[in-house]
Amino acid sequence: MKLCIVGTGYVGLVSGVCFSDLGNDVICVDHDHKKVEDLKNGIIPIYEPGLDELVKKNYKNKRLKFSTNLKNSVSRSDIIFICVGTPTKKNGKGADLSQIYHVAKEIRSSILKFKIIITKSTVSVTTGDEIEKIISQKVSKKLFSVVSNPEFLREGEAIRDFYKPDRIIIGTNNKKSNNLLKNLYSPITSRGAKYINTSRRAAELIKYASNAFLATKITFINELANLCEKIDVNIEDISIGMGLDKRIGGRFLRAGPAYGGSCFPKDTKAVVITADKFKTNLSVIKSVIKSNENRSSLLLKRVSNILKGKIKNKKICFLGVTFKANTDDMRDSSSLSMIPSLVKKGAKVNYFDPTGEKNNFKKIKNLNFSNDINSAIKDSDLIIIHTEWNDFKSINFKKKVKNKKFVIFDMRNIYSSTEMKEQKIKYFSIGC
């Protein structure tokens, strides 16, 4: 099939590349000229395991193209996936859908034969209705159908998630679109993914409800970890004991820093605003947001306690600064608030991240990036394991850290406190 992917970020690039790898003719469009030129030259703008090879392979065999020309790309395609950003509005009041509506207006003049317009971006309930209204101002309703097909991929596992999703949600009442999309996704459903056809509004809400529920699970276990720290109970035992109950499940039930990333913070905020608009109080999600917002300052208090209140001039090393492992994404990572706060209190912070130095931190004084783990930790008073990269899971701290009085604060509980005790390393973790 001839597909056009609008927005070549994490979702658009991964979806475009994977659809082309399944044999479709795909054109990925972005208004960022540099990004498109880089992609044509084999330079991949994001870190995502396996993506590099897949882009190069499909670009070479010409099933995958890159362009900045939205109108031409839409003209030659049957199915248009809108994958642009839907960040939180500057005033904090819900999702900013301006990029979506801008695309809807731009593509109208290119719809001369039947096309399916799909929102893969996460959009508030009724956005599909609005897109339909915008396009139908200039185009007959017979020539297009607006469908919601929310994306559930996880950064770091995006390619696996594309080929083996738990479910594919298609929100449409249009039979023709449903049949075409069933066909498009058949290589994936034939491997076991469930194909669910719902109304468009239901599909839009399923995405928000799923993210809000996962955010709730994380926040739930994080709050229980706070209790565990006071009653000499290990949160890991609680996670395992709860998670083995199939009704609960162990995923997203690991205590750690505040949840971050490009989705959970913005989507939880957006869904409560939508509900407020419809005079419905989503009080559980509201308290999840509040609890998560407090989490970084709670962990900073713990850092201060570990250092006995003496933060000034302390050498603190952060291992990992992205919001989770296997991604270079810094959006809403808890390190963005924790590191500047420690620097402000006089700490000399050093960090290492497997995806390299971060622009977010370049202008901060007393903050240094190290090129490798060994040089990052060697002079530290305190090592904070912030992200659960495999690279950090078997470090011989005793051998590598020069300062013999160093302390570790493992915010991901990747080491065993018993083993650390045996090695006589001062070790703190979450919920223990």
Ligand X SMILES: NC(=O)c1ccc[n+]([C@@H]2O[C@H](COP(=O)([O-])OP(=O)(O)OC[C@H]3O[C@@H](n4cnc5c(N)ncnc54)[C@H](O)[C@@H]3O)[C@@H](O)[C@H]2O)c1
Binding site for ligand X (CB under 6 A): 6-12, 29-32, 35, 70, 83-86, 99, 102-103, 121-122, 151, 153, 155, 262-263
Helix (H, G, I), strand (E, B) or coil at 214: helix
Task: Give the shortest CB-16-to-ligand X separation in angstroms.
Answer: 11
Residue whose CB is less far from ligand X, 99 or 370: 99
Task: Give the shortest CB-86-to-ligand X separation in angstroms.
Answer: 4
Kindly provide the residue ranges of all beta strands, DSSP E only, lying in 14-96, ordered along the sequence: 25-29, 64-67, 79-82
Cβ-proximal residues to 271 (8 Å cutoff; 6+ apart), any chain: 124, 205, 208, 209, 211, 212, 282, 285
Task: Give the shortest CB-35-to-ligand X separation in angstroms.
Answer: 6
Cβ-proximal residues to 141 (8 Å cutoff; 6+ apart), any chain: 132
Do 165 and 135 form a contact (C-beta atoms < 8 A)?
Answer: no
The Cβ-side half-sphere exposure at 250, using a 13 Å CA radius, reads: 9
The helix-helix angle for 264-277 and 200-231 (nearest 10°) equals: 120
Please pick, among 4, 28, 83, 263, the residue that the annotation labels catalytic: 263
Considering Cα of 319, then 297, then 122, then 89, what sign does the dihedral take? negative
In the DSSP assignment, the letter for residue 360 is G
Residue 264 is inside which H or E element, if any?
A: helix 264-277
Q: Assess whether 4 carries a catalytic annotation.
A: no
Helix (H, G, I), strand (E, B) or coil at 66: strand
Task: Give the shortest CB-33-to-ligand X separation in angstroms.
Answer: 10
Distance (Å, whole) CA 21 – CA 4: 14
Residue type at position 95? A
Catalytic positions, written as ranges = 263
